[in-house]
Amino acid sequence: MKNFPNTIPEISIKKLDKELAPVVCEELGGWFIIPKLGERSDFAVYDTLSGDRIALIEAEATNKAIVHNTEGVEIAAKTLRADGSTVRNQIIAQLSDIRCGFLAFIEDAGDVKKYHTFYDDELAGFDVNEYGTETRISPETFATRDDNDNYAINFGKRRERAVVGNYEVTIDGKAIDTACVVLPDISSNRVLIEQYIDSNGRTVLQREFMDDDMMMENGMHIGFRSENYGLSNTIRINGNNYVCVAVSVTDSVL
């Protein structure tokens, strides 16, 4: 496991004057690992409100696996939470010529292991006919980002990503040229995921934005997210505030 800092490292994002172009990213969404034997990924998740690290995750592709006659690889993942507890997950994923997606998720429920597959339910939001996301990501008209970091997003029915710009990401003094890719949440229009992907097709930084809803604490309204997280964590999407609530930093940069 890489030595990730206990608090959010210093991060800056600067727009680059480069033409938009497609990028290829073969990582499994949210786990930052390519589903191939021998691949592994370490990353840390930070809460932007407190600035604290809330999880350390290591994932490794360990074995071949077949789910409903579809071949993939088994990924063993271990999450160390801030309270010291450890959560272990088993994931079966497949990388095809054009897509990467979940085949199964194995839940340890005490004495019983529950297997959720892409036939049994809409695993991670992907249905049986079109699970996963395309590995070749292009600029698309449904998502644009201007020079002031204002987004125009058409939250439609396709769960796909789009390239919206090129940015220099600096984390703890290390600068990397990246392409920014976004994945809108088509189920509720409330969430936007930003990925900053390097020239090797690896995510170095991911930011999760949520709409500027009212926050609750002990049953009491404590203001909108933007009032609690601050304007430095706020962007505009379709003219509305969205707030960065979590940041993931991967071993591709640290």
pLDDT of residue 186: 65
User: Sorting pLDDT into bands at 50, 70 and 90, what band is 231?
Assistant: confident
pLDDT of residue 218: 62
pTM: 0.91
State the CB neighbour count (10 A cutoff) for residue 132.
23
Q: Looking at residues 241-247, what average pLDDT do you find?
A: 94
Q: Looking at residues 25-29, what average pLDDT do you find?
A: 95
pLDDT digits (tens, 9 = 90+) for 114-145: 888 877 655 544 444 446 789 999 999 899 99
Q: Looking at residues 13-33, what average pLDDT do you find?
A: 96
63 token code pair: 């074995």
DSSP per position, 180-243: EEEEE-TTTS-EEEEEEE-TTS-EEEEEEEEE-PEEEETTEEEEEHHHHH-GGGEEEETTEEEE
User: Sorting pLDDT into bands at 50, 70 and 90, what band is 159?
Assistant: low
pLDDT digits (tens, 9 = 90+) for 165-218: 999 999 999 999 999 999 987 666 788 999 999 999 999 999 999 988 866 666
Q: Which residue has the higher pLDDT, 231 or 133?
A: 133
Judged by phi (left if over 0) then psi (alpha if -120 to 50, else beta), residue 201 lies in left
Burial status of residue 139 (CB atoms within 10 A of its CB: 0-12, 13-18, 19 or more):
middle
Residues 61, 170 contacting (CB under 8 angstroms): no
